[in-house]
């Protein structure tokens, strides 16, 4: 019986050992969880995560924060003065949810190198809910007139990528790098399609939220209604579940746990990230701990998103990094994720990600081909 048991375990042990020996940007524990998910253990991981995060959910109330994490370099007054002088657009401050906001709460601050005299990347932090006074959201706004967005496959995501490229920010593009942030749910967790330059990476699925960049530089977040691959006019398309905001309103299905998955249901509070588009066509990224699908949508809505999608969740993945180019790239980790270094996307990474660049003249191309 013992021998039979060992023989039954042998294929799994071999698969696990060989997987752990492959190149990876992740430590052993999250890689083990990913291996379990990929080998018919998704239900077990979902059960454990559901009960763990429910047990770790924050209690309401508690002491107030006395200050917020600083995000950005220049102050809002400077950004607004430059915007008026150059007839540019700067988003208004985010209205605080608390009657007595902390210094700088919801106020946009520039970061990184300037383009045409202003920062194309603005950052802010703010408290998200009165009932949870110690939860902080980290939000970035990217000016579509002075920046462009690229999407890069990782070492293993998407799984069927025909071309992976460097799996990091291409060295030849780093001179104009402004920011990087995490991608969305892996393909096996939501059949989230993807496409680059008219080539299918995973089949796009109608009805899913899609972050799109067009060859003319325009960026959008919208529901996909096309076929399994985007046309050549689309620089890239990356999907992740349905929209959480559409026409400025929250998706009413966010309360439906069956649509958002067991650990994605409205009751479970975890690290969540998302991306949206404002009414001027500018991209917004948000990340915060202890969020549900509904509260993440409210963060993006408060930041000005009229359409938005959820990106990756759980503590291992939230990543927002900016680059100041002071004596080098000088990466700064905006989202305080101790499990990911500030150099995450400067070396090959297991998962796909987005990069925001200083815009250059001409159509958007695939920089790693």
* Per-residue model confidence as pLDDT tens digits over 241-300: 999 999 999 999 887 665 555 554 555 789 999 999 999 999 999 999 999 999 999 999
Query: Is 208 strand, coil or helix?
Result: coil
Beta-bridged to residue 355, according to DSSP, are 150, 180
- Segment 143-172 mean pLDDT: 95
> What per-residue confidence (pLDDT) applies to 365?
72
Better-predicted residue by pLDDT, 246 or 191: 246
pLDDT at 19 over 80: no
Pairing of strands 353-358, 177-182: antiparallel
CA distance 63 to 84: 39
Q: What does the pLDDT read at residue 267?
A: 58
Q: How confident is the model at residue 117 (pLDDT cuts 50, 70, 90)?
A: confident
CA torsion 82→86→88→93, rounded to 10°? 20
Output the pLDDT for position 20.
Answer: 80
How high is the pLDDT of residue 266?
53
pLDDT class of 331 with cuts at 50, 70, 90: very high
Average pLDDT score over the chain: 88
CA 124 to CA 79: how far, in whole Å?
13
Confidence of residue 81 (pLDDT cuts 50, 70, 90): low
Domain range summary for the chain, segments of one domain joined by +:
40-369
367 pLDDT band, cuts 50/70/90, is low
pLDDT of residue 7: 76
Percentage with pLDDT > 90 across the chain = 63
Q: CA 291, CA 246: separation in Å to the nearest integer?
A: 19
In the prediction, which pLDDT does 259 show? 57
Kindly indicate the confidence band of residue 48, based on its pLDDT and cuts at 50, 70 and 90. confident
Per-residue pLDDT tens over the stretch 230-245: 999 999 999 999 999 9
* pLDDT surpasses 60 at 85: no
Mean pLDDT of all residues in 154-183: 96
């Amino acid at each position: 019986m013992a021998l039979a048991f060992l023989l039954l375990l042998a294929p799994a042990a071999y698969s696990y050992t060989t997987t752990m020996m492959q190149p990876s940007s992740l430590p052993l524990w999250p890689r083990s969880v990913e291996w379990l998910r990929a080998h018919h253990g998704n239900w077990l991981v979902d059960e454990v995560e559901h009960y763990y995060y429910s047990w770790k959910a924050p209690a309401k109330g508690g002491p107030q924060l006395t200050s917020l994490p600083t995000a950005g370099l220049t102050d809002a007054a400077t950004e607004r003065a430059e915007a008026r002088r150059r007839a540019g657009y700067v988003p208004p401050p985010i209205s605080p949810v608390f009657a007595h906001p902390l210094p700088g709460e919801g106020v946009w601050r520039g970061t990184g190198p300037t383009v045409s005299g202003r920062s194309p990347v603005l950052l802010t932090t703010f408290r998200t809910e009165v009932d949870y006074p110690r939860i902080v959201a980290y939000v970035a706004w990217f000016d579509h007139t002075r920046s462009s967005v690229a999407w890069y496959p990782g070492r293993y995501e998407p799984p069927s990528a025909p071309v992976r490229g460097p799996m990091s920010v291409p060295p030849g593009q780093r001179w104009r790098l402004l920011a990087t942030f995490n991608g969305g749910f892996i393909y096996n967790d939501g059949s989230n399609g993807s496409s680059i330059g008219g080539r299918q990476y995973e089949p796009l699925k109608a009805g899913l939220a899609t972050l799109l960049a067009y060859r003319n530089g325009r960026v959008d977040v919208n529901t996909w209604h096309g076929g399994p691959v985007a046309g050549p006019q689309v620089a890239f398309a990356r999907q992740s579940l349905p929209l959480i905001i559409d026409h400025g309103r929250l998706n009413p299905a966010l309360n439906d746990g069956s649509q958002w998955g067991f650990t994605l249901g409205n009751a479970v509070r975890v690290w969540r990230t998302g991306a949206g588009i404002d009414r001027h066509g500018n991209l917004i990224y948000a990340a915060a701990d202890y969020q549900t699908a509904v509260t993440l949508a409210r963060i993006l809505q408060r930041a000005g998103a009229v359409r938005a999608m959820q990106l990756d969740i759980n503590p291992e993945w939230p990543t927002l990094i900016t680059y100041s180019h002071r004596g080098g790239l000088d990466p700064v980790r905006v989202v305080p994720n101790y499990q990911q270094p500030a150099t995450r996307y400067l070396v090959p990474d297991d998962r796909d990600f987005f990069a925001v660049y200083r815009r250059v003249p001409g159509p958007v191309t695939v920089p790693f081909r």
